[in-house]
Chain A
Amino acid sequence: MVDAVFLALSVLTIGSAIAALEIRSLIYGSIALMLALSGVAGFFLLLDAPFVAMFQLSVYVGSIAVLILFTVMLVRRELIFNKVEDKRRRYAGIALMIVIMLGIGTIIIGSGLKTMETNSAEVDYKKIGEDFLTYYSPALIVMALILASSIIGAMTLARREDVIDGQRAD
């Protein structure tokens, strides 16, 4: 049962990831990207990590994909993409991907992941929160700083003082 689900999820994820790269229509491409991200959420569910799976869904599918849709719909296509295509670039990309995957694969297989216990219980999200506030608190602080600085940066970039908003009531 789990094997069949795993296979189906793999086919869905990889297939829609390839489709996201190859489809001409940008909207369909972003839909395929959403499918690929939801497939990753399915993997997390299979791995008994519903906490991560739900965040994957709400952050990646619910927010990132919405941002991509926004961009695709509101910006003219010629402004983001140029139509120059190069066959050799594609093959180079595929070759690079295979090299990277082989490298990561050898590292993972060599790391003793096979001897890991697979029947361990589901990790409680309260334990994750506790770990974040105690042992991994530097990581939490660094993440908070990165997020805060990126939000401040986004607000600075989006601020325009030369535009007067005539619609505003106040």
Chain B
Amino acid sequence: MSTIAPQFRLSRFIGSLFDLIFWVILIFSLVGLPIVFIVLFYIKLPVINNQLMTPYLAMTWMADPSRTLPIVKNFMHTTIFKVMAFPGFGFAALLAAATIFVERKFLAKIQLRVGPLYCGKIEGILQLMGDGFKLMSKEIIIPAKADKPIFWLGPLLFVGAAGAFVSLIPVAPGWVVANPNVGLLAVFAVIGFFPIIAVLTAWAANSKWTFIGGLRALHQMVAFEIPLILSLLGVVILSGSLNLSQIVVSQEHFWWIAFLPIGAIVFFITILAELERVPFDLPEAESEIVAGWLTEFSGMMYGLIQLGTYLKLYAFAGLFVVLFLGGWNGPMVWPPFPQDIVTQGITIGPVTAKFPGLPLFDQEMLNGTLWFVIKTVGVILLILLPRGVFPRVRIDMILHTGWYKLIGLAFINIFIALGLLYAGVLGPGGFLQ
């Protein structure tokens, strides 16, 4: 039973919805339609295909799938669609938002709690939406002695850098926003921006908690960037390319994790540290320094940082999949598109609708996306798992791990890759390729 709104009655809620619809229709027909006709009276309508382009004709064209589907299909191959919707921001933000909710429920189940429960009746499924509305409606408080320009810019830059990282991850063959020849180096360049943003915003907030957190973030990220880069060199040596799409193509037969397990483990640990997740969450250690470098953020500024953090999580998980788990490669499980719909159309009673523009996506792309998403979600769950299991470690232990052990292991990984290459097992001309 909900304790938030004890007076709630479903019948009244539905009744109020009908009320709302009634008033919208009434106001539209009494005010909206006359305004539309008055405006139409003064506008000179164009003539297209020897037909006067009346609003009714425009609407019939819009409702005709044989005319609109090619436009939609064309639009889906433009850069703006790729940036905003599919392999870019929309897709990643959707996965990131799902991650936030899944994380709460997942950790609750691990620790025998219930997690979000009330919002949305079924297992608190609307909790995330409620949190989003709360963050958007909250007041943004800026500390009086903060350095305002940097403080305002910090969250935006953080989301921007995370978005740049997301744009480099290939999801399906040909479906990637930016596909430079030096993709992996671009990833390293983007990763280098995060510690700067963290320490600048921490300094700008002018509070000791943020500053301590920011310095911890800087130490940690700088220490773990080197093993991160070194652990990926093995993959570059074996696949002979820096382009992320070509690295995926090179794993058609074998995933690199089978040959470079040490590199994969080192990379996974550095992911945890770069994302400031437990057991390396010292920059946000909430029991020691409030919320670390996020302490002074409120309202949507905090929301933006949170969005950026989870976009970054998705991007790192995607990078792990692309480099070690074979990216979009996988057996073809997606069913082929039923050709009857294209040739015969769909018959509903007396009406037959034909869709000559279908299918919108080809089978290969859908299958690739499916495998990529399955693997990425698995890696994301693995990244979330330590938070329910491990305690936080001390800063000197983190730095010791990063500078001594992981760098040593990364070099061992490079030597394994070189050995495989020179023994003629893998790489260009190898007998397994």
Interface residues of A (CB under 8 A from B): 27, 31, 34, 50-51, 54-55, 57-58, 61-63, 65-66, 69-70, 73-74, 122, 124-125, 167-169
Find the residue from B185, B188, B199 having the highest chain A CB count within 10 A. B185
Inter-chain contacts of A34 with B (CB < 8 A):
196
The answer to whether B222 and A57 have CB atoms under 8 Å apart is: no
A–B Cβ pairs within 8 angstroms, 25 of them: A27-B147, A50-B182, A50-B185, A51-B185, A54-B189, A55-B189, A57-B192, A58-B185, A58-B188, A58-B192, A61-B189, A61-B192, A61-B196, A62-B189, A62-B192, A66-B195, A66-B199, A69-B199, A70-B218, A73-B203, A73-B215, A122-B181, A125-B242, A167-B394, A168-B396
Give the docked Cα–Cα distance between A58 and B34 (Å): 61
The answer to whether A54 and B196 have CB atoms under 8 Å apart is: no
Give the docked Cα–Cα distance between A125 and B186 (Å): 14
Inter-chain contacts of B185 with A (CB < 8 A):
50-51, 54-55, 58
Partner of B200, one of A27, A62, A167, A169: A27
Inter-chain contacts of B132 with A (CB < 8 A):
none
Partner of A27, one of B189, B203, B397: B203
Q: A57 → chain B, closest Cβ, in Å?
A: 4
Inter-chain contacts of B222 with A (CB < 8 A):
63, 66
Interface of A: prevailing SS: helix
Nearest-neighbor residue (CB-CB) of B240 within chain A: A126
Given that A58-B189, A167-B396 are known contacts, is A125 also in contact with B181, CB under 8 Å in the complex?
A: yes
Interface residues of B (CB under 8 A from A): 147, 150, 180-182, 185-186, 188-189, 191-193, 195-196, 199-200, 203, 215, 218, 222, 225, 242, 394, 396-397
Partner of A50, one of B147, B150, B181, B193: B181
Given that A27-B203, A66-B218, A125-B242 are known contacts, is A54 also in contact with B192, CB under 8 Å in the complex?
A: no
Give the docked Cα–Cα distance between A31 and B204 (Å): 13
Inter-chain contacts of A122 with B (CB < 8 A):
181
Q: A72 → chain B, closest Cβ, in Å?
A: 9
Given that A73-B199, A167-B396 are known contacts, is A61 also in contact with B182, CB under 8 Å in the complex?
A: no
Partner of B193, one of A61, A74, A168: A61
Nearest-neighbor residue (CB-CB) of B194 within chain A: A62
Give the docked Cα–Cα distance between A62 and B228 (Å): 14
Give the docked Cα–Cα distance between A57 and B186 (Å): 9
The answer to whether A54 and B186 have CB atoms under 8 Å apart is: yes
Inter-chain contacts of B200 with A (CB < 8 A):
27, 31, 69
Q: B189 → chain A, closest Cβ, in Å?
A: 4
The answer to whether B193 and A62 have CB atoms under 8 Å apart is: yes
Identify 14 new A-B residue pairs, CB closer than 8 A, beyond the known A66-B196, A125-B242, A167-B394: A27-B147, A27-B200, A50-B180, A50-B181, A50-B186, A54-B188, A61-B189, A62-B188, A63-B222, A66-B192, A69-B196, A69-B200, A69-B218, A125-B182
| Nearest 6 A/B pairs, CB to CB | A62-B192, A57-B189, A54-B185, A58-B189, A58-B188, A54-B189
Give the docked Cα–Cα distance between A168 and B396 (Å): 8
Q: A153 → chain B, closest Cβ, in Å?
A: 18
Inter-chain contacts of A31 with B (CB < 8 A):
150, 200
Give the docked Cα–Cα distance between A54 and B168 (Å): 13
Nearest-neighbor residue (CB-CB) of A41 within chain B: B189
Q: B246 → chain A, closest Cβ, in Å?
A: 12
The answer to whether A54 and B203 have CB atoms under 8 Å apart is: no
Give the docked Cα–Cα distance between A65 and B193 (Å): 10
Give the docked Cα–Cα distance between A31 and B200 (Å): 9
Give the docked Cα–Cα distance between A102 and B181 (Å): 37
Give the docked Cα–Cα distance between A57 and B192 (Å): 8
Give the docked Cα–Cα distance between A102 and B203 (Å): 41
Give the docked Cα–Cα distance between A54 and B196 (Å): 17
Give the docked Cα–Cα distance between A168 and B222 (Å): 21
Inter-chain contacts of B199 with A (CB < 8 A):
66, 69, 73
